[in-house]
Amino acid sequence: MLKLHFAPNSRAGRIVWLLEELGLPYEMNRMDFHPSHLKSDEHRARHPLGRVPVLEDGEIMLYESGAIVEYVLSRHAVGQLKPAIDSPLYPEYLQWFHYCEGMVMPPVNIIVVQTVLLPPERQNKESLEQAQRLLGKALAPINEALAGRDYLIGDFSAADIMLGHACFMSNRLGGVTDDMSELKGYVERVSNRAAFQTAINA
């Protein structure tokens, strides 16, 4: 059985969401999002930086959420949640799948550091404002692409698990503004999926 090493309010939520959408059985090792758990020798043996998610599949140990999603789809859910390589939708699927970590999450990470992780005396207003501007620019093309679509490539796919989770977090941080009506509706649709609710409340 698959085993997921998980901490709340992290990218590991994507993997819970994926496994729930696919109906795959899995075991979860739930840890606190705290150095005493994540930076322990036991967990560093799984991930050298002491981060989550980490997926175990027999003798295989894999980290990086995007890699885990691709692995699960290839090994345990062939033909599900992604278009075929020869589909005209495949290039767009691939683009949005990787847009998440390439464009959206870098400024999200800075915003979280500057508003949540650092004490007030160490927070940098200029860094925060720059990250907020960059996030707005990164989200604008997603808002445009969603016009007339429920999900990124039309039907729900693993690209929505990657980027939808990032958009949900961006909305929590105030990055999805009221003028991004398509993206607001998308975040609501994503949030209402039963598998997403299981993941976000894990």
Write down the domain spans for the chain: 2-76, 90-194
Q: Distance from CA of residue 186 to its chain's centroid? A: 15
d(C-alpha 77, C-alpha 70), whole Å: 10
Q: Give residues with Cβ within 8 angstroms of 177, minimum separation 6.
A: 136
Domains 2-76 and 90-194 share a fold: no
How confident is the model at residue 20, as a pLDDT? 98
For every residue of 110-169, which 3-state class applies, written as one string?
Answer: HHHHHHHHCCHHHCCHHHHHHHHHHHHHHHHHHHHHCCCCCECEEECCHHHHHHHHHHHH
Low-confidence stretches of the chain (pLDDT < 70) are: none
- Tell me how far apart the terminal alpha carbons of the chain are, to the nearest angstrom: 19
CATH of 2-76 among 2.30.42.10, 3.40.50.300, 3.40.1160.10, 3.40.30.10 = 3.40.30.10
How confident is the model at residue 36, as a pLDDT? 82
| pLDDT tens-digit readout, 83-131 | 999 999 999 999 999 999 999 999 999 999 999 999 999 999 999 999 9
CA dihedral over 169, 175, 177, 182, signed as positive or negative: negative
How confident is the model at residue 42, as a pLDDT? 92
> Is 90-194 assigned to CATH 3.40.640.10?
no
